[in-house]
Amino acid sequence: MSDLREEVRERYAAAALAVKDGMASCDCGPSPCCAPADGAGVALYDEAERGSLPENAVLASLGCGNPTAVADLREGEVVLDLGSGGGIDVLLSAARVGRTGKAFGLDMTDEMLALARANAQKAGATNVEFLRGLIEEVPLPDASVDVVISNCVINLSTDKPRVIDEIFRVLKPGGRVGVSDVVADDALSPAQRAERGPYVGCIAGALSFGEYRAELQRVGFRDIEVTPTREIVDGMHDAIVRAVKPV
């Protein structure tokens, strides 16, 4: 495991334990994905959504968006959440796809997986499954998923082309991507991105708008959209990423 990946793992393990102990999780950058658990990440979900979930699922929300709100989930679909953390997006997805659908969560952090499974049990969710693994090596078969979502996690990967490869592989023909992530202006070099915030703060490792589109195009995605929603620091944005795998 690379030093960066281990740093990310340790950061989110600590966040999970902090939520379990009822404390704020961290303060390592300007992005909501590394804000204290009672900060901006939680506010991205409406009151009805938050009220339908166990408290610890809400407190563990460290994302930069609400991918379930942009993924247009439908009854009976299979959803995969990359970097599922405390499980908030998995549980919301499970409710949207219903009993005939299923929501998978994938995370590399044992502490987050334990928190997510406890939250699923409290919520009484029976159509969810949390998997241990890397988003660069998804432990699911080819063409097994209708929708891939993720919430401010792809920017943390140390091998983003491999993540995009895996997303394309596990999606069924016609499957789609609905991701929230941090994205950089095309004019910013990697060094300039690093000046604006740390890797574990979801800043230094972010792709640019052009890089994101190019990676999605490289593997064959169509109808690609990378749309900024909020500037979080000079030249760095929360963004929604959408794409479709051709039939």
Q: What percent of the chain has pLDDT over 70?
A: 83
Number of domain units in the chain: 1
pLDDT bin (cut points 50, 70, 90) of residue 104 is very high
- The CATH number linked to 21 is 3.40.50.150
Read off the DSSP letter of residue 105: E
118 versus 63: the higher-pLDDT residue is: 118
| Distance in angstroms (rounded) separating the CA atoms of residues 102 and 20 | 26
pLDDT of residue 55: 72
158: pLDDT strictly greater than 80? yes
pLDDT of residue 238: 94
Report the DSSP pairing between strands 145-151 and 236-244: unpaired
34-43, 62-71, 120-129, 226-235: which has the minimum mean pLDDT? 34-43
Helix (H) or strand (E) holding 31: none
20: pLDDT strictly greater than 70? no
**How does the average pLDDT of the chain come out, rounded?**
87
How many other CB atoms are there within 10 angstroms of residue 217's CB atom? 13
Instruction: Report DSSP letters for 161-219, one per residue.
Output: HHHHHHHHHHEEEEEEEEEEEEEE-TT--HHHHHHHS-TTTTSTTPPBHHHHHHHHHHH
- Note down the domain range covering 200: 3-244
Number of H helices, E strands in the chain: 10, 7
| Distance in angstroms (rounded) separating the CA atoms of residues 185 and 171 | 28
pTM: 0.88
7 versus 107: the higher-pLDDT residue is: 107
pLDDT bin (cut points 50, 70, 90) of residue 120 is very high
